[in-house]
């Protein structure tokens, strides 16, 4: 069942099994606020068990571009398009958030991003491969993030 993320009244709905559920909910709300403010788009998530296509899409970029496969359990996904950008998110139980931003008409603006919820360790799949910048968020505390540019055509 789809859930529209409310960034004004943060909730852990769908994320309860995460050891960092509050921080992950804050990170999810932070993303929802961004898309509402920038694109007037309501950020909607669905359980990962109901969105295999989105999981496969994100996992394909990770595997083919960087040979990364996460052991963590995916809890939720989101998939949508704003303007000329296809966007997909996967929220993992350990607090990791992976997003793909793929511009339809500009191969120079395509990337996979990683965001780590406050309180989680860097996943072993990413250790030593990426440097993480820190960002403060009223909703999510300290977010650590990194990304890589997508080189292939998908």
Each residue of 58-73: pLDDT tens digit?
999 999 999 999 999 9
pLDDT at 129 over 90: yes
Which of the four pLDDT bands, split at 50, 70 and 90, describes residue 4? very high
Q: Is the dihedral of CA 77, 95, 43, 39 positive or negative?
A: negative
pLDDT at 153 over 90: no
Question: Which neighbouring-strand residues pair with 146?
Answer: 114
Which of the four pLDDT bands, split at 50, 70 and 90, describes residue 154? confident
**Inter-CA distances, 110 with 28, 84, 99, 148, Å:** 21, 11, 11, 9
Q: Which two tokens stand for residue 70?
A: 């996460």
What span, in angstroms and rounded, lies between the C-alpha atoms of 74 and 116? 14
Q: Give pLDDT, residue 97.
A: 98
| Chain-centroid distance, C-alpha 17 | 17
Q: Whole-prediction pTM value?
A: 0.96
Q: Give pLDDT, residue 62.
A: 97
pLDDT, averaged across the chain: 96
- pLDDT tens column, 77-95: 999 999 999 999 999 999 9
Output the DSSP codes for 99-144: EEEEESS-TTSEEEEEEE-TTPPPPTTTTTT---EEEEETTTEEEE
Which of the four pLDDT bands, split at 50, 70 and 90, describes residue 11? very high
- pLDDT tens column, 21-58: 999 999 999 999 999 999 999 999 999 999 999 999 99
CB atoms within 10 A of CB 107: 13
């Amino acid at each position: 069942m789809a859930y529209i993320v409310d960034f004004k009244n943060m909730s852990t709905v769908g994320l309860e099994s995460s050891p960092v559920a509050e921080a992950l909910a804050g990170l999810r709300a932070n993303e929802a606020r961004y898309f509402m403010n920038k694109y007037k788009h309501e950020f909607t998530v669905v359980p990962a068990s109901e969105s295999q296509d989105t999981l496969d899409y994100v996992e394909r970029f990770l595997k083919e571009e960087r040979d990364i496969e996460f052991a963590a359990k995916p809890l939720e996904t989101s998939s949508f398009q704003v303007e000329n950008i296809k966007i997909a998110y996967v929220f993992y139980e350990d607090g990791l958030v992976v997003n793909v931003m793929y511009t339809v008409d500009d191969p120079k603006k395509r990337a996979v991003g990683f965001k780590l919820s406050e309180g989680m360790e860097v996943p072993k799949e990413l250790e030593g491969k990426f440097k993480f910048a820190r960002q403060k968020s009223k909703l999510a505390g300290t977010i650590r993030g990194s990304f890589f540019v997508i080189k292939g055509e998908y």
